[in-house]
Structure 1
Amino acid sequence: MLNNKINGQRLWDSLMEMGQIGGTPKGGVCRLALTDLDKEGRDLFVDWCLEAGCTVRVDTMGNIFARRAGKDNSLPPVVMGSHLDTQPTGGKFDGIYGVLSGLEVIRSLNDHNIETLAPVEASVWTNEEGSRFPPAMVASGVFAGVFDLEYGLSRADLDGKTMGDELARIGYAGEVECGNREFKAFFEAHIEQGPILENEKKTIGIVTDAQGQRWYEVTLTGQESHAGPTPMLSRKDALVGAAKIIDQVNRIGLSNQPSACATVGLLQVFPNSRNVIPGEVFFTIDFRHPNDQILAAMDHELRELSQRIADEQGLEMKFEQIWHSPPVPFNKNCVDSVRKAAETSGYSHQDIISGAGHDACYISRVAPTAMVFVPCENGISHNEAENADPADLAAGCDVLFQAVVEQANDA
C-alpha cells in the first residue's frame, strides 16, 4: 500500500464550491436531475477534470466519464463515482462526495506523479435520486442492462418532461453507448446517511452489502363531494383510505425490525380543497430490507391489506410496483481492498450494510464493486442540515485512493 495521502483541504474546497450551485438558505442544496443547476454542476465537474488532464466522454444517458490514462490503456479502467443530483431539500455531501472524491484521487495521482497500470476514471451517474424522474438509479440501471435505453430516456417528471428531452436541452445527451464496456473495478465513496458509524465512533464503513428495495405508486379513487351536506356514512373519502394504508405501511415496517424500513414520502390529494371530500389520492411507498424473502413477505402483506382497505372504504385502487432492487452483496476482492486500505492507513473501521440504494448496486451486476462509507452528523441525510467532518471525508478519500491504486496496478 502507498503512504501517499490525498489533499483533504482541496477536496473540502471543491465540495463547498459545488455546494453553492443550487445552495439553499438553510445551507443545503437543491440541484434536481437535468435542471439548469444540474447542468451548471456538470459543467464545473467537466472543467475540473479537463484541468486535471483527463479526457471526458458522455454516454447516451448523460453519464460522464473522466479518464486518467494508465500505462496500458487497453486494460479496462478502475472507475470511481456517484451522482450530482440532489433531493429538493438535499445536503452538500450526498452523492457529490463520491464524485469529487474520484476527482481528488485523480488530482492526487497527479500530485504524487503516480502512473497506474490501468486507466482510472471518475464518473457521474444521471438521476440517482429518482426525485425528479422515478425510479432511482435510472442511468446506472441502463448501463447495467436492468433497463433498456428507451425506458431510461422516457422517464418523465410530474410535468411530463422526459429524461431524453431534458438531456438534450442541457447539452448532455452524449453519443457514447450506455454500457457494454468492461470495468476492472468500481468504487463509490459516500456518506453513510445513517447513525451507525457516528454512534460506534468509527471513521470508515466497509460496505459488504446493500439492502433490497421495492417502490410502489398507489392511486385511490373515491368521490369528491361537499364537506358539509355529505353524511359521514355515505362518503367515499380517498384520503381516509390512504391514511389507513399509510398506517399499515408504518406497522409493517415496525413489525419487521431490526432491519426493515417503510416510508410514504409523496402524497397528492385531489381536488385538494378544504371543503371538498378528497376524491382521489396518489401516494408512494418505499420498502427496504437486506433479506429478499422478508422483503417479499412485506410486499405480500402490503398488497393484501391495501386491497382490503380499498374495498371496505368503497374505493377503486390502482396499485403498481414500479421498482424492485434486490439485496446486493458486493465483490469480496474489492471489499478486501477497502478493508486493507483502512487498516494500513490506521483508520478505525467496521463492516456495514447500506440502508440506501446507490449506483454501485446496479454497477455490481456488471463489474466488481465496493463502497466506502464515512460518518455524517447525527446520521442525517436527504436534509439541508446534512453535514460531515472534513477529516472524515478526507479519510474516506484516502481509503478510496489506496484501494483504487491497488486495483489499477493488479495485473
Structure 2
Amino acid sequence: MSTPSTVSTSALRIHGERLWQSLMDLACIGATPKGGVCRLALSELDGQGRDLVVGWAREAGLSVTIDQIGNVFMRRPGRNNSLPPIMTGSHIDTQPTGGKFDGNYGVLAGLEVMRTLNDHGIQTEAPLELAFWTNEEGSRFVPVMMGSGVFRGAFTLEHAYAATDVEGKTVKDELQKIGYLGDEVPGQHPIGAYFETHIEQGPVLEDHGKTIGIVTGVLGIRWYDCTVTGMEAHAGPTPMHLRRDALQVATRLMQEVVACAGRHGPEGRGTVGMVQVFPNSRNVIPGQVKFSVDLRNASDAACDAMDADIRAVAERLARETGLTIRLDLVSAYPAQPFHPDCVEAVAHGAQTLGYSAMRCVSGAGHDAVYMAQLAPAGMIFIPCKDGISHNEIEDADPAHIAAGCNVLLHAMLERAGVVA
C-alpha cells in the first residue's frame, strides 16, 4: 500500500481505463464469437475467471476467504478491524449467451475501489470487502442467486449441494473440481453494509438521459398459471354467438394483465410470456388456454393490490362468459426495499461527483436482495445500451462504467469512514 497522500476524498476518482481493461481481460475467459461471454457457474471457465479475480485481489493486498458454497470474500483491512466490513460485490458467472458486464462489472468495480484507495494510501476506519457470489444466474444450476441465498439462509447448503446440471453433475462436486469448496460456514461472515453496482439491464436510465440510477429497492414478483376452459368445436358449423371460445376470453384477460399494471403505477409491471392453446388446430375453436401471468410492483402492499385486481377481473369475465377461469399462484417473491442510509449514500456520491441521477427500482433480482435482509444495502445502476442484457451484444459506455464505480467509491467511504 502506498504512503498516505494529501488527496481529499472529495477529489478521489477511480482509474477508468484500468477498470475497463480488467473487464475486457475477464471477458476473454469464455468469450463468444458474437462478442459476449459464456462462463457458466462452476464450469472450468468459471474456475479460470475466479482464479483471475482472486489473483488480482491478492496483488492488491487483499486477504481471501472462501465459504462452503464457494462465495469468495476479499478484504482490505481498516484501522478498526473489529468493525464489520463495508462490502461490495456481485457475480462473475454468466448466461450461456451472456455479456461482458452483467455481474462482472459489480465485482471489478469493487476491485477498482480497492486499487484506487491503495494508489492514494487512504485508510478506512472499517475494513472493506469485495465478494463474488456463486451461481447468481441459475443458468446451469437452480436455484438462482444460490451463493447469496445459502449465505442468507434462504435455503440449506445441502439443498444447494444436491442441485444437478443437465449432465447430472452436482454443485458440490463441481465446486471441488474447480478448487472453490471452501471451509467457512456460509453466513458466518459479518457485513456492516453492502453495495452492488450493476448495469441497469433495462432502458429507463437511457430513456431519461441519466448516468446514475439510485436504486431504492427491488420489485416484488407474483407468478401465476392461468387456465381458461371453454369448449372446442368445429370452426365452420358453430355460429359465433354459440361458441365457448377459450382463446377469446383468455386474450381479454391477457390485456387486463397489462391494464392492471397501469392501474397500479408507476412501478406496476404486467406480463404474459407463455401461452398454450388446446387443441391448437387451424379449424377448431380453442377449448382451453393456459398462460403465464407475471405481476410486479415496488411494495408487497402494491403486489397484494394487483393480485386482488386481476382476480376480480378474472371472476367478472367468468361470470360474463360462463367459462371457467383458474388463476393459480405458483411463486411469489417479496419486494425488497433498500436501506435509506445506503440509498442516500449513493445519492450523495452522485451529487458530489456531479453526475445526473434519478431514483429507480430494479425489476430484476440481484444478490443484493439477500444481503439487504442481513445488513443495510443499496445498489447503483448505470445505463446499458438499448437496455439490453442477458445477450451477447450487451454493452455499456466506458464513461458510465467509470461513473458508477466513482459513486461506489464515495458511497463505501461514507459508510466506512476515512482515517484522517
TM-score normalized with structure 1 length = 0.80
1:25 maps to amino acid: P
2:359 maps to amino acid: D
Aligned with residue 78 of structure 1, among 75, 86, 90: 86
- Quote the residue 1:137 is aligned against: 145
Q: Structure 1 pair 255/136, CA: closer, same or farther in 2 (3 Å)?
A: farther
Aligned equivalents of 2:39, 2:111: Cα separation in 1: 20
Asked if 2 retains the 8 angstrom alpha-carbon contact of 1:210 and 1:357, the reply is no
| 1:42 corresponds to 2:61 | no
**318-327 or 144-153: bigger deviation:** 318-327
Query: Shift in Å at residue 79 of structure 1?
Result: 0.7
- Quote the residue 1:360 is aligned against: 368
| 1:214 corresponds to 2:221 | yes
Aligned equivalents of 1:347, 1:13: Cα separation in 2: 23
SS at match of 1:186: strand
Query: Shift in Å at residue 170 of structure 1?
Result: 2.1
- Quote the residue 1:92 is aligned against: 100
1:80 maps to amino acid: T
Aligned with residue 72 of structure 2, among 64, 73, 79: 64
Q: How does 1:192-341 map to 2 (within 5 A)?
A: 192-207=200-215, 209-214=216-221, 258-263=266-271, 286-296=294-304, 298=306, 321-322=330-331, 324-328=333-337, 330-341=338-349
Aligned with residue 123 of structure 1, among 108, 131, 137: 131
- Quote the residue 1:236 is aligned against: none
SS at match of 1:84: coil
**318-327 or 105-114: bigger deviation:** 318-327
Q: Which has the larger radius of gyration?
A: 2
Aligned equivalents of 1:178, 1:243: Cα separation in 2: 46
Query: Shift in Å at residue 85 of structure 1?
Result: 1.5
| 1:379 corresponds to 2:364 | no
SS at match of 1:80: strand
Question: Kindly, what percent of the aligned residue pairs are identical?
Answer: 50
Q: Structure 1 pair 284/357, CA: closer, same or farther in 2 (3 Å)?
A: same
What is the Cα-based RMSD across aligned positions, in Å?
4.1
Asked if 1 retains the 8 angstrom alpha-carbon contact of 2:382 and 2:401, the reply is yes
| 1:11 corresponds to 2:19 | yes
Aligned equivalents of 2:179, 2:222: Cα separation in 1: 30
Q: Structure 1 pair 4/284, CA: closer, same or farther in 2 (3 Å)?
A: same
Query: Shift in Å at residue 10 of structure 1?
Result: 0.4
SS at match of 1:402: helix
Query: Shift in Å at residue 305 of structure 1?
Result: 9.8
Aligned equivalents of 1:136, 1:282: Cα separation in 2: 25
Aligned equivalents of 2:152, 2:266: Cα separation in 1: 31
Query: Shift in Å at residue 353 of structure 1?
Result: 1.4
Aligned equivalents of 1:300, 1:292: Cα separation in 2: 12
Aligned equivalents of 1:318, 1:37: Cα separation in 2: 42
Q: Structure 1 pair 318/404, CA: closer, same or farther in 2 (3 Å)?
A: same
Asked if 2 retains the 8 angstrom alpha-carbon contact of 1:82 and 1:359, the reply is yes
SS at match of 1:15: helix
2:199 maps to amino acid: I
Q: Structure 1 pair 332/254, CA: closer, same or farther in 2 (3 Å)?
A: closer
**294-303 or 386-395: bigger deviation:** 294-303
1:211 maps to amino acid: V
| 1:351 corresponds to 2:362 | no
Query: Shift in Å at residue 215 of structure 1?
Result: 6.6
SS at match of 2:105: helix
| 1:393 corresponds to 2:401 | yes
The alignment covers a number of residue pairs equal to 401
Query: Shift in Å at residue 132 of structure 1?
Result: 2.5
**16-25 or 392-401: bigger deviation:** 16-25
Query: Shift in Å at residue 290 of structure 1?
Result: 1.1
Aligned equivalents of 1:34, 1:303: Cα separation in 2: 42
Asked if 1 retains the 8 angstrom alpha-carbon contact of 2:339 and 2:378, the reply is yes
**296-305 or 37-46: bigger deviation:** 296-305
Aligned equivalents of 1:300, 1:43: Cα separation in 2: 49
Asked if 2 retains the 8 angstrom alpha-carbon contact of 1:186 and 1:368, the reply is yes
Aligned equivalents of 1:282, 1:162: Cα separation in 2: 33
2:154 maps to amino acid: V
Aligned equivalents of 1:302, 1:186: Cα separation in 2: 36
Q: Structure 1 pair 46/283, CA: closer, same or farther in 2 (3 Å)?
A: farther
Aligned equivalents of 2:411, 2:253: Cα separation in 1: 46
Asked if 2 retains the 8 angstrom alpha-carbon contact of 1:28 and 1:385, the reply is yes
TM-score normalized with structure 2 length = 0.79
The runs of 5 or more residues in structure 2 that have no matched partner are 1-7, 228-246, 278-288, 318-325
- Quote the residue 1:405 is aligned against: 413
SS at match of 2:82: coil
Q: Structure 1 pair 362/373, CA: closer, same or farther in 2 (3 Å)?
A: same
The runs of 5 or more residues in structure 1 that have no matched partner are 221-238, 270-280, 310-316
Aligned equivalents of 2:163, 2:310: Cα separation in 1: 26
Aligned equivalents of 1:305, 1:158: Cα separation in 2: 40
SS at match of 1:357: coil
**388-397 or 158-167: bigger deviation:** 158-167
